[in-house]
Amino acid sequence: MGAVMLEKLYWKRGKKMAKWNKDKRVLEHEHTKFWKFDLKDVAEPNLQKDVFPYSEVCRIDFDHKILPINPAEDIFITDTTFRDGQQARPPYTVKQIVDLYALMSRLGGPNGVIRQTEFFLYSTKDREAVEKCRELGLPFPEITGWIRAAADDVPLVKDMGLKETGILASVSDYHIFLKLNKTRKQALDDYLAVVRSILDAGIIPRCHFEDITRGDIYGFSIPFAIELMKLREESGIDIKVRLCDTMGYGVSYPGASLPRSVDKLVRAFIEDAGVLGHLLEWHGHNDFHKGLINASHAWLYGCSGANAALLGMGERTGNSPLEGLIIEYISLKGETDGIDTTAITDIANYFEKEIGVRIPPNYPFVGSDFNVTRAGVHIDGLIKNEEIYNIFDTAALLNRPIIPMVTDKSGKSGIAFWINSHFGLKGEAAVDKRHPGVSRIHKWVADEYESGRVTSISNEELVKRVQKYIPELFMSELEKIKHIASQTAVAVVNQVIEHPDMKTMKPELQEPVMQQFIEENPSIQFAYVVDMNGRKMTRNITNIADRAKYENYGVGTDQSDREWFIRPLQTGKIHVTNFYISKMTGALCITVSSPIVDKNDEMVGIFGVDIKFEDWVKRVEDIAEATQIALREEYEAKSKSDRWV
């Protein structure tokens, strides 16, 4: 007999019949009448003060009845980022909603693990966001609405062309008596009237049983759900029930009693109200740190849908974190079902960079320090094998390589490991612990703790030190070439200017020193000396191939307007120019220049060397880029000169 026929028999003539359980292979006892659990229309609210004493911490009581797990056949996630999530912060812009919706679709994958998301429909911006998201044409998550339990709100859903909407339906006496100022029967009748209006519009109602974990389960909630299932049978349209743990009171302890027991709530709606598992959702809050575990617990007891919000953002302490449920889903099913876990990191980055949300550093899966270790012994283990101290391959699954936190116990190995992890450096690009920059950073770290520091070094502090001591990591390929070439020249220039003959400012003594320097460093095209007035005193010392053509070029000329002369004269330091085109050779060059000081440490001249940049560059693109920079520098210099004429 087909499943549809069995379900019809199941509800035949308003009576539940014995039903075959295909998993347990026996007939299960069913109640003979819908109205067995009828509405208890009490005169006074049942606030269950023995469990919820307002002046004290609420109680967790037990009935010692242990239920076996009975997972839903199909489990999925629904989202409330754009509804409950917006009640916790300033409203998102339309663009932010659209961007997050697209990222959410990528995260949930083509199989719709993130099945639906819900939107407010009241403002023009709300409706524009719905339209913009629909224009993306993404199959998942399906866009649904949310309205109050008011018949006047139903046209909002109809006009937007949505197939499903949630409606607020508070079920605890705290809400019915103290907030709505109604009796249970009045509340039930009002809710059912709105549901009928939604059904008449051909829309699937999703009734949000607000504050279910403080409700009278068999005095109101189950009778309400039974009435909804009657309407489902009559209309032929599915009616869903969302179990809303509004205050986070739900617990997953075996043997806990209603109304706080998550497993007993789920089974009560399935077994006693006849709500099929695929029509049930759990919506939790995190007031008692149970948001995630309660949602996954509901899955294990037959509830198909677990409602969540990105980063757990929701009213007060927030909702179940959607990214946490994604990981829990994979853990429970043992497969990804098309989920793209790397989208979790992209979502977190979007929240921080585009929306301005500051995620706590230790927030699971997305915080800046979630996979950071500080202990020196742990860092040693990570270097040997990162599986020792990493929850899973966070680099592959989340695009988040494991990064140790640097302290005085880290050593050079730990610092190098941090640099390579933070900047994604591998193979030949990786920084070795013997790099001079690593030694300088290690010394700075040691000095910090020697001075009494007791906290770990932050990522921001380390990045600044790496920028200072290993600047090549932050450069383009062209900048790296320039850096290496100039640093090579600087190192040699420092040696040359310390030669006693260079300090004499006598060309006949200086030129042999410079000639030896040129012969030992073929990438240097010219070396020369000018006096304190900028007059070129020496010949251009160059290699033998260029000697006849350029050796005497410019001797005695005034070079005082050149940047390579002015800057060392002003600062007393070595200077490296930007790219320029040599007036002498027409070649692309950079110049490294340094003050020459006498034995009394007085500046007496400037020593300059020209590096022929083409000798350092292999890629045509880099030569072209450097040439453009040189031409721009020349144009800007000329423009400044013209303005002062």
Residues linked to residue 319 through DSSP beta bridges, in sequence order:
285
Which pLDDT tens digit goes with each residue over 18-47? Answer: 778 777 788 877 655 544 789 999 999 999
Q: Is 70 exceeded by the pLDDT of residue 355?
A: yes
Which pLDDT tens digit goes with each residue over 236-257? Answer: 999 999 999 999 999 999 999 9
Q: What average pLDDT does range 97-104 have in this prediction?
A: 98
- At 247, the amino acid letter reads M
Residue 71: asked if its preceding bond is cis (omega within 30°), the reply is no
Q: Which stretches within 521-585 are classed as H helix?
A: 544-550, 563-571
Q: What is the pLDDT of residue 392?
A: 93
Q: What is the pLDDT of residue 296?
A: 98
User: Token pair 């060392």 is at which residue?
Assistant: 568
Please tell me what DSSP assigns to residue 419. H
Q: Are strands 204-210 and 240-245 parallel, antiparallel or unpaired?
A: parallel
Q: Is 60 exceeded by the pLDDT of residue 3?
A: no
Q: Is 90 exceeded by the pLDDT of residue 491?
A: no
CB atoms under 10 Å from CB of 452, counted, come to: 6
Q: Is 80 exceeded by the pLDDT of residue 71?
A: yes
Residues linked to residue 603 through DSSP beta bridges, in sequence order:
597
Coil, helix or strand for 609? strand
What is the Cα 471 distance to its own chain's centre? Answer: 26
Contact 279, 225 (CB under 8 A): no
Query: Cβ-count burial of 166 within 10 angstroms (0-12 exposed, 13-18 middle, 19+ buried)?
Result: buried
Give the percent of the chain with pLDDT over 70.
Answer: 87
Q: What is the pLDDT of residue 118?
A: 98
Q: What is the pLDDT of residue 13?
A: 41
Pick the CATH number of 479-640 from 3.40.50.720, 3.40.50.2300, 3.30.450.20, 3.40.640.10: 3.30.450.20
Q: What is the pLDDT of residue 386?
A: 78
Beta strands in 100-258 (DSSP E): 114-120, 142-147, 164-170, 204-210, 240-245
The CA-atom distances, in angstroms, between 269 and each of 13, 20, 298 are 20, 18, 12
Q: What average pLDDT does range 529-534 have in this prediction?
A: 95
Q: Is 80 exceeded by the pLDDT of residue 606?
A: yes
Nearest alpha carbon to residue 359 among 321, 397, 391, 401: 321
Residue 262: pLDDT band (50, 70, 90) is very high
- Domain spans, the chain: 69-355, 372-474, 479-640
Residue 141: asked if its preceding bond is cis (omega within 30°), the reply is yes
Q: What average pLDDT does range 229-236 have in this prediction?
A: 97
Q: Are strands 372-373 and 305-308 parallel, antiparallel or unpaired?
A: unpaired
156 vs 148: CA distance, rounded Å: 11
406 vs 456: CA distance, rounded Å: 6
Which pLDDT tens digit goes with each residue over 575-595? Answer: 988 877 777 766 777 889 999
220 vs 187: CA distance, rounded Å: 10
Of the listed ranges 63-72, 542-551, 618-627, the one predicted with least confidence: 618-627
Q: Is 60 exceeded by the pLDDT of residue 114?
A: yes
Q: Is 50 exceeded by the pLDDT of residue 631?
A: yes
Q: What is the pLDDT of residue 428?
A: 85
Residue 629: pLDDT band (50, 70, 90) is low
End-to-end CA distance of the chain: 100
* More confident call, 565 vs 426: 565
392 vs 214: CA distance, rounded Å: 39
Q: What is the pLDDT of residue 615?
A: 64
- Quote the mean pLDDT of the chain: 88
Which pLDDT tens digit goes with each residue over 156-212? Answer: 999 999 999 999 999 999 999 999 999 999 999 999 999 999 999 999 999 999 999
Tell the CATH superfamily of the 69-355 domain. Answer: Aldolase class I (3.20.20.70)
